[in-house]
Amino acid sequence: MDKIRIVGGRPLSGTIPISGAKNAALPLMIAGLLTEEKLTLENVPRLADVALLQRILGNHGVDITTAGKRNGDDPHAGQTLEIDARAIVDTTAPYDLVSRMRASFWVVGPLLARMGEARVSLPGGCAIGTRPVDFHLDALRALGGEIDIDAGYVVARAPKGLSGARIVFPKVSVGATHTALMAAALARGESVIENAAREPEIVDLAQCLVKMGARISGAGTSTIQIDGVARLRGARHAVLPDRIETGTYAMATAMVGGDVLLAGASATLLESALATLRAAGAEIDVTNEGIRVQRNGAGIRPVDVTTAPFPGFPTDLQAQFMALMTRAGGRSRITETIFENRFMHVQELARLGARIHLDGDTATVEGVERLKGAPVMATDLRASVSLVIAGLAAEGETMVQRVYHLDRGFERLEEKLARCGAQIERLSM
């Protein structure tokens, strides 16, 4: 298993290209199941989760080819995937694949809507809470799907197709909104999704579906209207920039100081995180090329943060922000409201000398003067990158183990940081 070795203490300076968003690329790839024609996706990041989803879709009979960007082309440009779901040969998504990644469960909506049946294993994903799928299933039931659970599988049937419905989510769910949106796009008649997630990745999916011929309005607000169509066509769509990757490198720069341009990043995708970083002492400038982050001389100020659905502070940046706060000049409180068990980084950050007290959904962080390198264990995707951020600031060597978590969601992480002056390398074991 690979490890990442960091020797901390160097500021970051230079340019970091921001990749396409993992959490948009995955539902967009799944949307390819909705049409017999070719869906071409540009700016798809090269990530383990994307490769795993290629395998899962391949298992259904979907043909995926990678086009363009070869020798001599810009190695930093995302890949272009051509997704051809003309022939769906199998509507089962097996446990050994789905258990590894949460988003793979989302094939259930498109398969049911287009094929009238789906048998999909209950999902896995980051171990950050219980993460049930009841909202997904309730939405599919509202659209007329018959749903059973059998031996760890969701068995969904709609022999006569789905019908439009009013879907009211009891709580904001990104994944369940994706499921409802994709299923309702091919349902007969009108649907309304209330208390829909407003995340930019929902808007990206809706925009792609509209290019495919879907009739959708209101994506990006809490109420989405869908007028179902009998079939969707092929389209070409570029994945939006990754706001979580953007926020992560912004926090890394705020942590160690320096001057970094996050090229291709879009500030409108993470206003709340940028405002928080400014409050913490980072200088943030939005330019034509992206977002420039600087911290020169000034210390890190403590800031309290509570995670919330978009446009609030994202839970996927909570661990990274906590890493930053470990070196703030005072006490900060970080409250996690989305997932009940998303504090696994706390004990690992403590191994580097952080002082964090956990009480229910709130972590109180007492900033310390210095962190000291140590071996640490990645536990989930964002938790592991928080250890990288802390390691960049820690004195001496930090060795991050279980790097496969990082590879799920950060493209060429060590290369991007090393180019900006960080002493970081991957040790292949």
Ligand X SMILES: CC(=O)N[C@H]1[C@@H](OP(=O)(O)OP(=O)(O)OC[C@H]2O[C@@H](n3ccc(=O)[nH]c3=O)[C@H](O)[C@@H]2O)O[C@H](CO)[C@@H](O)[C@@H]1O
Ligand Y SMILES: C=C(OP(=O)(O)O)C(=O)O
Nearer to ligand Y by Cβ, of 309 and 367: the residue is 309
Contact assessment for residue 6 and residue 373, using Cβ atoms and an 8 Å cutoff: yes
| CA–CA gap between residue 162 and residue 185 (Å, rounded) | 10
What's the angle, vertex CA 322, arms to CA 321 and CA 325, rounded to 5? 90
Q: Burial, 138: exposed, middle or buried (Cβ in 10 Å; 0-12, 13-18, 19+)?
A: middle
| CA–CA gap between residue 248 and residue 382 (Å, rounded) | 9
134 binds ligand X (CB under 6 A): yes
Which of 45, 78, 125, 258 contacts ligand Y by CB under 6 A? 125
Contact assessment for residue 18 and residue 412, using Cβ atoms and an 8 Å cutoff: no
Task: Fill in the per-residue mask, 20 to 39: x = in contact with ligand Y (CB under 6 A), - = not in contact.
Answer: ---x----------------
Binding window for ligand Y (CB under 6 A); candidates: 52-60, 98-106, 300-308, 414-422: 98-106
Per the DSSP assignment, residues forming a β-bridge with 194 are 168, 223
What SS3 class is residue 3? strand
348 binds ligand Y (CB under 6 A): no
- Residue 163 labelled as part of a binding site: no
101 binds ligand Y (CB under 6 A): yes
103 binds ligand Y (CB under 6 A): yes
**Nearest CA among 101, 105, 104 for reference residue 126:** 101
Contact assessment for residue 239 and residue 25, using Cβ atoms and an 8 Å cutoff: yes
**Which of the residues 7 through 26 are near ligand X (CB under 6 A)?**
23, 26
**Nearest CA among 63, 21, 60 for reference residue 44:** 21
Taken as a whole, the chain contains a residue count of 429
* Selected catalytic residue, list 31, 93, 113, 126: 126
Give the Cβ contact number of residue 206 at 10 Å.
25
- Residue 342 labelled as part of a binding site: no
What is the nearest approach in angstroms of ligand Y to the Cβ of residue 149? 21
**Which of the residues 19 through 58 are near ligand X (CB under 6 A)?**
23, 26
174 binds ligand X (CB under 6 A): yes
| Total residues interacting with ligand X, rule: CB under 6 A | 20
Nearer to ligand Y by Cβ, of 316 and 407: the residue is 316
| CA–CA gap between residue 89 and residue 68 (Å, rounded) | 28
Active-site residue, 126 included? yes
Task: Fill in the per-residue mask, 363 to 402: x = in contact with ligand Y (CB under 6 A), - = not in contact.
Answer: ------------------xx--------------------
Task: Fill in the per-residue mask, 308 to 327: x = in contact with ligand Y (CB under 6 A), - = not in contact.
Answer: --------x-----------
- Residue 22 labelled as part of a binding site: yes
Greatest Cα pair distance, the chain, in angstroms, is: 66
**Nearest CA among 315, 368, 312, 370 for reference residue 345:** 315
- Residue 386 labelled as part of a binding site: no
What is the nearest approach in angstroms of ligand X to the Cβ of residue 244? 7
Task: Provide the binding-site residues for ligand X, judged by CB under 6 A.
Answer: 23, 26, 102-103, 129, 131-136, 171, 173-176, 315-316, 338-339
Q: Which residues are annotated as a binding site?
A: 22-23, 102, 171-174, 316, 338
Task: List residues with catalytic annotation.
Answer: 126
